[in-house]
Amino acid sequence: MNEKVDFKGSVILNPVPVVLITSKNKEGKENVFTVAWTGTVCTKPPMLSISVRPERLSYEYIKETMEFTVNLPTSNMTKAVDYCGVRPGRKFDKIKEMNFTMKPGTNINVPYIDECPVSIECKVKSIIPLGTHDLFIAEVVGSHVNKNLMDEKGKIHFENADLITYCHGEYFKMDTEALGKFGYSVAKKPLAIKNSQSKDAETSVKVKNSSPSKEKNNKKSNYKKSSKKKNSSKANLKSKSKKTYISKKKNNSTK
């Protein structure tokens, strides 16, 4: 039995994505800030949420236009991610300072960050005040994905994107080794990840009354095998990513 401690800090749901949110006000001023309180909230229509403190400049811009873009940063952008999360847009031109390449949005009037391999354009549907933060629930109206992340079947290989996560005050690289695939625990045949296609995690695997107890023992190892094969081809990509200094100083109060 594990001895447990009653942890009475903040919400300790970890790890979480960490993203760069771009916005543009009616006068055409652009801003960027870091958000970790974000998540997918609906499949159809595709919707996500961000939680924003009302004192942020980004709050003002997003509320004004009801539009924002979620940009997924890579590990070599970690320092920029942190900077955009500790410097207010009212005092600093973060886009200029971070030398971000801004590309005009195609479905909304908000630019996206070209250096980010994935950018998601959103229109706000509702704002719910919660306390310290207001919850912005938004519909995804379009996205921009680096072509080299997509296979011939249209699957996005996020594992090759060198993304980062945020965990209890620190930034981490995303592991590129898949541990399993949606539904693999009950699948009759081993699920190879090579050339797999999963448009929607909820519907990607058909489950045919299989029970884990009836599975052959080698299923997990087969999965691992194909996973390892794939990862060896990723080694080059991984080594290309720059090593960035990540401050060990914990600062949860920024959120």
Ligand X SMILES: Cc1cc2nc3c(=O)[nH]c(=O)nc-3n(C[C@H](O)[C@H](O)[C@H](O)COP(=O)(O)O)c2cc1C
Among 20, 22, 49, 56, binds ligand X (CB under 6 A): 56
Does residue 31 bind ligand X (CB under 6 A)? Answer: yes
Does residue 166 bind ligand X (CB under 6 A)? Answer: yes
Among 22, 49, 58, 226, binds ligand X (CB under 6 A): 58
118-129/170-173 β-pairing = unpaired
Instruction: Name the residue among 60, 27, 40, 29 with its Cα closest to residue 122.
Output: 40
Which is nearer to ligand X, 34 or 69 (by Cβ)?
A: 34
Does residue 164 bind ligand X (CB under 6 A)? Answer: no
Among 24, 48, 49, 52, binds ligand X (CB under 6 A): 52
Among 88, 199, 216, 238, binds ligand X (CB under 6 A): 88
Which is nearer to ligand X, 4 or 249 (by Cβ)?
A: 249
Say which amino acid occupies 181: K
Which is nearer to ligand X, 80 or 193 (by Cβ)?
A: 80
38-42/47-52 β-pairing = antiparallel
Which is nearer to ligand X, 52 or 163 (by Cβ)?
A: 52
What is the chain's alpha carbon radius of gyration, rounded to the nearest angstrom? 20
Does residue 82 bind ligand X (CB under 6 A)? Answer: yes
d(CA 60, CA 107): 21
Place of tokens 């652009």: 30
d(CA 53, CA 40): 19
Which residues in the 193-252 window bind ligand X by CB under 6 A?
A: none
Which residues in the 116-135 window bind ligand X by CB under 6 A?
A: 133
Q: Residue 67, exposed/middle/buried by CB under 10 A (0-12, 13-18, 19+)?
A: buried
Which is nearer to ligand X, 56 or 230 (by Cβ)?
A: 56
Among 85, 105, 111, 117, binds ligand X (CB under 6 A): 85
Instruction: Name the residue among 135, 134, 160, 161 with its Cα closest to residue 71.
Output: 161
Question: DSSP assignment, residue 43?
Answer: T
Count CB neighbours of 230 within 10 A.
18
Smallest separation (angstroms) from ligand X to the CB of 84: 6
- Residues near ligand X (CB under 6 A) are 18, 31, 33-37, 51-53, 56-58, 82, 85-89, 133, 166, 254-255
